[in-house]
């Protein structure tokens, strides 16, 4: 998917000016100014400019949405705004989700990777922890870019591919990066779906979910449990599952939740006891919503 770059940046890269567009293409300076601010105008005008600059049409305008949270994230992502909501979300969600799964990187080290693309690690920090941190940043970007799309198998598999690419697991012949598991596995001592069952179970889960007339936070939590119960991948199921939940919250205008590493035992208890007591997992996810709301309040964002 081609993401927004912006007319001004593309003009700089190509060695052109806005005046060139007016002279060469006959486009008014007012129209060019609108495009320069990321507005999506008539397709024929955008195609004409894209052809002249030899760039993709999608790189000239922002993906506008009625969801204010998603729009903020997309705007800040497009300009790589330092110190904003997008910046903090990337660090906090990546640190907590990876740490739940055993990453040895601290939040400060995660922040350093995101902000400087460098790392000062101590002894015993696996290379994969660094790779998976960078991969998680990219997975969040993918979610933001594709938040409003219908949830599909392709999106789920793509998230797994982004997370696990270039890791040690990806070099193992039997480990299917971006595809369903080839070997049976258990989680918390509980049997999960057999490899031959995964595709049909995921399709059934998606069909049931997409048939809902309206989606609430409880529906997303239910989906999260069902997904983790299937455990479709050899590894990375928890992180993929939490990214899916983040995507679906953005898709339906629901405040997302961040499961903090400090709450992981409550989170695990909620998953293990869902069949008999749904309140545990629901409470942990709602607590994660409060965590996200506190993050929003830091930037004076009211939804």
pTM for the model stands at 0.82
Report the CATH number of the 68-298 domain. Answer: 1.10.3290.10
- Average pLDDT on 34-53 reads 82
Exposed (0-12), middle (13-18) or buried (19+): which is 30, by Cβ within 10 Å? Answer: exposed
pLDDT at 5: 72
Does residue 302 surpass a pLDDT of 80?
yes
- Average pLDDT on 195-207 reads 98
Does residue 34 surpass a pLDDT of 90?
no
Report the CATH number of the 2-63 domain. Answer: 1.10.260.40
DSSP code at position 170: G
pLDDT at 40: 67
pLDDT at 303: 80
In 3D space, the residue among 141, 109, 139, 140 whose CA is nearest the CA of residue 122 turns out to be 109
pLDDT at 1: 47
Who's near 50: CB < 8 A, 6+ residues apart?
A: 56, 57, 59, 60
Same fold, 2-63 and 68-298: no
Answer yes or no: is 158 a known binding residue: no
Who's near 197: CB < 8 A, 6+ residues apart?
A: none
- Average pLDDT on 18-35 reads 87
Answer yes or no: is 242 a known binding residue: yes
Answer yes or no: is 188 a known binding residue: no
Q: Which residue has the higher pLDDT, 76 or 198?
A: 198
- Residue 191 belongs to what H/E stretch? strand 190-191
Answer yes or no: is 177 a known binding residue: no
Q: Give pLDDT tens digits for 219-272.
A: 999 999 999 999 999 999 999 999 999 999 999 999 999 999 999 999 999 999
Q: How far is 249 from 215, CA to CA, in rounded Å? A: 9
How do the domains of the chain map onto residue ranges? 2-63, 68-298
DSSP code at position 186: E
pLDDT at 239: 98
Q: Give pLDDT tens digits for 130-164.
A: 999 999 999 999 999 999 999 999 999 999 999 99
Q: Give pLDDT tens digits for 157-195.
A: 999 999 999 999 999 999 999 999 999 999 988 999 999
Q: How far is 32 from 180, CA to CA, in rounded Å? A: 47
Does residue 11 surpass a pLDDT of 70?
yes
Q: Which residue has the higher pLDDT, 271 or 6?
A: 271
Q: How far is 260 from 287, CA to CA, in rounded Å? A: 9
Answer yes or no: is 239 a known binding residue: yes
Answer yes or no: is 189 a known binding residue: no
Q: Give pLDDT tens digits for 52-93.
A: 999 888 888 776 678 999 999 998 998 788 999 999 999 999
User: Would you name the residues annotated as active-site residues?
Assistant: 231
DSSP code at position 124: T
Answer yes or no: is 268 a known binding residue: yes
Q: How far is 107 from 112, CA to CA, in rounded Å? A: 9
């Amino acid at each position: 998917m081609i993401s927004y770059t912006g007319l001004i940046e593309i003009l700089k890269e190509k060695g052109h000016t806005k005046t060139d567009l007016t002279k060469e293409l006959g486009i008014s300076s007012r129209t060019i100014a609108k495009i320069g601010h990321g507005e999506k105008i008539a397709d024929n005008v955008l195609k004409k400019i894209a052809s002249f600059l030899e760039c993709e049409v999608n790189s000239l305008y922002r993906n506008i949405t009625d969801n204010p949270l998603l729009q903020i994230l997309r705007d800040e992502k497009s300009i790589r705004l330092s110190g904003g909501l997008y910046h903090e979300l990337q660090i906090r969600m990546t640190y907590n989700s990876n740490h739940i799964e055993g990453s040895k990187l601290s939040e400060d080290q995660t922040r350093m990777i995101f902000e400087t693309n460098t790392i000062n690690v101590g002894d015993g920090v696996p290379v994969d922890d660094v790779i998976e941190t960078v991969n998680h940043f990219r997975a969040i970007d993918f979610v933001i870019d594709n938040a409003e799309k219908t949830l599909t198998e392709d999106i789920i598999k793509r998230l797994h591919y982004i997370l696990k690419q270039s890791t040690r697991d990806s070099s193992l012949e039997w480990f299917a990066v971006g595809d369903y598991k080839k070997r049976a596995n258990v989680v918390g001592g509980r049997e999960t779906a057999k490899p031959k069952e995964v595709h049909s179970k995921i399709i059934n889960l998606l069909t049931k979910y997409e048939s809902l007339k309206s989606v609430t936070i409880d529906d997303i939590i239910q989906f999260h449990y069902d997904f983790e119960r299937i455990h479709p991948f050899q590894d990375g199921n928890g992180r993929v599952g939490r990214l899916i939940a983040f995507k679906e919250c953005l898709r339906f205008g629901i405040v997302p939740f961040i499961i903090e590493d400090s709450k992981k035992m409550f989170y695990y208890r909620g998953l293990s006891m869902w069949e008999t007591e749904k309140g545990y997992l629901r409470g942990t996810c709602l607590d994660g919503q409060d965590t996200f709301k506190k993050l929003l309040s830091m930037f004076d964002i009211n939804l």
